[in-house]
Amino acid sequence: MQEPSLKIIELKDNFLKFELSGVSPAFANALRRTLLSEVPTLAIDDVIITVNDSVLFDEILAHRLGLIPLHIDDEVYDILREAYEEGKRDEYTVSFVLDVEAIDRPVMVYSGHLKFQAASFGSLSPMSARITPVSESIPIVKLASGQKLALEAIAKMGTGKEHAKWQPVATVAYKYKPKIKILNPKPKDLQKCVDICPKGVLSAESGELKVVNELECSLCRECEEKCPGVVKIG
Ligand code: SF4
């Protein structure tokens, strides 16, 4: 039995792709479900609205604020996660304020208008730079000329199984790793076999059919069907 292993293929700020080997599909699916519902994250949970002249009801505004992803650095995250696991999430909170007025023209209120106010658990400095919305350009509501919005938003830790706003990932999916075997590298319709693949997995190099991008294969089996005896998908 192969030892379980994990190899990172692509890592960006908001995207991770990895290859998991030596585990069953059930394990991979359990990992997927755990990422969605069991990893604690920070999200706005309480909103105290002092002025709301906008067209949206208070409840809708609070819901929109809850869905804004928040960035926290590792040190702050560890403090909050530990407190959450000890059942102290209501004591370890982070608050933001938002105060926007459309004086003489309409103004769009964005996530960037949320300003860090305080953390209930100490003064790690500069805290304001370490707890921010992931993006400053998420629209919240548009204010017409003369309207105002003022509120305090309190963020707490939680998990996705309680509410989707605490999901740490937008989505997570897995697929079986394809095994592509070239049975006949010099088929009569070489270019047709290359062109049939919608994912650019096959290529013609020096008159031979080659696999160039195996992980991109979607297992659609078009190549097997349209070029019989040339490619085998496992
Ligand atoms: S199974 Fe589909 S995606 Fe994969 S190589 Fe064949 S045609 Fe391309």
ipTM rounded to 2 decimals: 0.99
Domains, the chain, in order of start with CATH, read 40-158 (2.170.120.12), 175-234 (3.30.70.20)
What is the arithmetic mean of pLDDT over 2-15? 93
Cβ(114)–Cβ(83) below 8 Å: no
Verify whether ligand 1 is closer than 6 Å to residue 48 (CB atom).
Answer: no
| Residue pLDDT, tens place only, 160-176 | 999 999 999 999 999 99
Nearest CA to ligand 1 atom 4: 217
Verify whether ligand 1 is closer than 6 Å to residue 194 (CB atom).
Answer: no
Verify whether ligand 1 is closer than 6 Å to residue 221 (CB atom).
Answer: yes
Q: Which of 222, 231, 232 to mutate to test the pocket of ligand 1 (most atoms within 8 A of CB)?
A: 222
DSSP, residue by residue, 125-138: TTGGGTEEES-S--
Q: Which atom of ligand 1 is nearest to the CA of 196?
A: 7
Residue 91: helix, strand or coil by DSSP? coil
Looking at the chain, list the stretches that DSSP marks H as alpha helix, in order from N- to C-terminal side.
25-37, 58-66, 74-85, 190-195, 222-226
Asked whether residue 126 carries a pLDDT value surpassing 80, the answer given is no
- Residue 130's pLDDT is 79
Verify whether ligand 1 is closer than 6 Å to residue 211 (CB atom).
Answer: no
| Residue pLDDT, tens place only, 13-51 | 889 999 999 999 999 999 999 999 999 999 999 999 999
What is the arithmetic mean of pLDDT over 61-82? 94
